[in-house]
Structure 1
Amino acid sequence: MDRVRTGLERLVAAPRTGRERVGLVTNPTGVLPDLTPAAPALLAAGTRVTTLFGPEHGLRGTAQAGGGEAAAADPVTGLPVADTYGRTGAELDALVAASGVEALVFDMADVGARFYTYVWTMCDLMGSAARLGLPFTVLDRPNPIGGAVAEGPVLDPAFASFVGRAALPLRHGLTPGEIALSANRATGAALEVVPMEGWRREWHFDRTGLPWVMPSANMPTLDTALVYPGTGLLEGVNAAEGRGTTRPFELVGAPYADGRLAAALNGLGLPGVRFRDTSFTPAYGRHAGVPVRGVQLHVTDRAAFRPVLTGVSLLHELRTLYPDDFACDPFLDLLWGSGSLRAHLEAGRDPRGLCPPPGPPEGDLLYD
Structure 2
Amino acid sequence: MTISRRGVFRAAGVAAATAAGVAATGGSALASAPAAASGRGRRLRTGADIAAADGWRMFAGRKVGIITNPTGVLDDFTSIVDDMHAKGVDLAAVFGPEHGFRGTAQAGEAEETFIDPRTGVTVYDAYGANVAKMAGFFTAAGVDTVVFDIRDVGVRFYTYIWTMWTAMQAAAQVGDLRFVVLDHPNPLGGRARGPVLQEGYTSGVGLLEIAQQHGMTVGELALFFNATFMERAGQQKLTDLQVVEVKGWRREMVGPDQADRWIPPSPNMPTPQTATLYPGTGLVEATDWSEGRGTTRPFELIGAPYLDHRWAEALDAKRLAGVEFREAYFTPTFSKNAGEVCAGVQVHIMDAEKVDAIEVATHMLVEARRIYPEFSWRGDGGRWIGLLTGSGRFQEQLEAGASAEEIIAAWQPELKKFVRDTRPYLLYGGPRH
> Given the two structures, how large is their TM-score scaled by the length of structure 2?
0.81
Q: Which residue of 1 aligns with 2:148?
A: 106
Q: Do 2:185 and 2:256's aligned partners in 1 also have CA atoms closer than 8 Å?
A: no
For 2:171 and 2:65, how far apart are their aligned partners in 1? 11
SS in 2 for 1:266: helix
For 2:163 and 2:306, how far apart are their aligned partners in 1? 37
Matched, 1:214 2:214: no
Tell me the alpha carbon deviations over residues 31-90 of structure 1, each in whole angstroms, 9 at most, x when there is no partner.
Answer: 001000011222233321111100011111111111111111123212110011111122
Q: Which residue of 2 aligns with 1:8?
A: 48
Question: What is the 5 A alignment of 1:122-137?
Answer: 122-133=164-175, 134-137=177-180
Q: Which has the larger displacement, 185-194 or 124-133?
A: 185-194
Q: Do 1:146 and 1:173's aligned partners in 2 also have CA atoms closer than 8 Å?
A: yes
Q: Which residue of 1 aligns with 2:27?
A: none
Q: Which has the larger displacement, 321-330 or 252-261?
A: 321-330
Matched, 1:164 2:225: no
Report how far residue 160 of structure 1 moved. 1.8
Q: Which residue of 2 aligns with 1:146?
A: 189
Q: Report the residue type matching 2:148 in the other structure.
A: F
Q: Which residue of 1 aligns with 2:364?
A: 314
Please, which of 71, 78, 81 is the counterpart of residue 29 of structure 1? 71
SS in 1 for 2:298: coil
Q: Which residue of 2 aligns with 1:54?
A: 96
For 1:17 and 1:283, how far apart are their aligned partners in 2? 45
Report how far residue 92 of structure 1 moved. 2.2
Please, which of 344, 349, 355 is the counterpart of residue 294 of structure 1? 344
Describe the shift of the 1:94–1:12 C-alpha distance in structure 2 as closer, same or farther (beyond 3 A): same
For 2:86 and 2:169, how far apart are their aligned partners in 1? 29
Q: Which residue of 2 aligns with 1:81?
A: 123
Residues paired across the two proteins, number: 367
Matched, 1:120 2:181: no
Contiguous gaps of at least 5 residues in structure 2: 1-40, 231-236
Q: Report the residue type matching 1:331 in the other structure.
A: W
Report how far residue 2 of structure 1 moved. 5.4
Matched, 1:70 2:112: yes
Matched, 1:367 2:410: no
Q: Report the residue type matching 1:340 in the other structure.
A: R
Q: Do 2:397 and 2:407's aligned partners in 1 also have CA atoms closer than 8 Å?
A: no
Question: What is the 5 A alignment of 1:346-365?
Answer: 346-356=399-409, 361=419, 362-363=422-423, 364-365=425-426
Tell me the alpha carbon deviations over residues 281-324 of structure 1, each in whole angstroms, 9 at most, x when there is no partner.
Answer: 00011111111000000111222211000011111111111123
SS in 2 for 1:158: coil
Q: Which has the larger displacement, 49-58 or 327-336?
A: 327-336
Q: Report the residue type matching 1:11 in the other structure.
A: A
Q: Which has the larger displacement, 184-193 or 346-355?
A: 346-355
Q: Which residue of 1 aligns with 2:4?
A: none
Describe the shift of the 1:261–1:93 C-alpha distance in structure 2 as closer, same or farther (beyond 3 A): same
Report how far residue 145 of structure 1 moved. 1.7
Q: Do 2:188 and 2:255's aligned partners in 1 also have CA atoms closer than 8 Å?
A: yes
SS in 1 for 2:261: coil
Report how far residue 209 of structure 1 moved. 7.2
Matched, 1:342 2:410: no
- Larger C-alpha radius of gyration, 1 or 2? 2
For 1:19 and 1:157, how far apart are their aligned partners in 2? 42
Report how far residue 20 of structure 1 moved. 2.2
For 1:366 and 1:347, how far apart are their aligned partners in 2? 41
Q: Report the residue type matching 1:309 in the other structure.
A: E
Q: Do 1:138 and 1:194's aligned partners in 2 also have CA atoms closer than 8 Å?
A: yes
Please, which of 206, 223, 240 is the counterpart of residue 181 of structure 1? 223
Q: Do 1:2 and 1:198's aligned partners in 2 also have CA atoms closer than 8 Å?
A: no
For 2:100 and 2:256, how far apart are their aligned partners in 1? 25
For 1:44 and 1:333, how far apart are their aligned partners in 2? 46
Q: Do 1:7 and 1:141's aligned partners in 2 also have CA atoms closer than 8 Å?
A: yes
- Give the % identical residues: 45
For 1:257 and 1:68, how far apart are their aligned partners in 2? 34
Contiguous gaps of at least 5 residues in structure 1: none
Q: Which has the larger displacement, 252-261 or 202-211?
A: 202-211
Question: What is the 5 A alignment of 1:222-301?
Answer: 222-301=272-351
Q: Do 1:199 and 1:208's aligned partners in 2 also have CA atoms closer than 8 Å?
A: no
Q: Report the residue type matching 2:89 in the other structure.
A: T
Describe the shift of the 1:17–1:307 C-alpha distance in structure 2 as closer, same or farther (beyond 3 A): closer
- RMSD over aligned CA atoms reads 1.8
Q: Which has the larger displacement, 319-328 or 155-164?
A: 319-328
Q: Which residue of 1 aligns with 2:5?
A: none
Q: Which has the larger displacement, 94-103 or 134-143?
A: 94-103
Q: Report the residue type matching 2:262 in the other structure.
A: W
Q: Do 1:153 and 1:354's aligned partners in 2 also have CA atoms closer than 8 Å?
A: no
> Given the two structures, how large is their TM-score scaled by the length of structure 1?
0.95
For 1:86 and 1:206, how far apart are their aligned partners in 2? 28
SS in 2 for 1:341: helix
Q: Which residue of 2 aligns with 1:205?
A: 255
Q: Report the residue type matching 1:89 in the other structure.
A: V
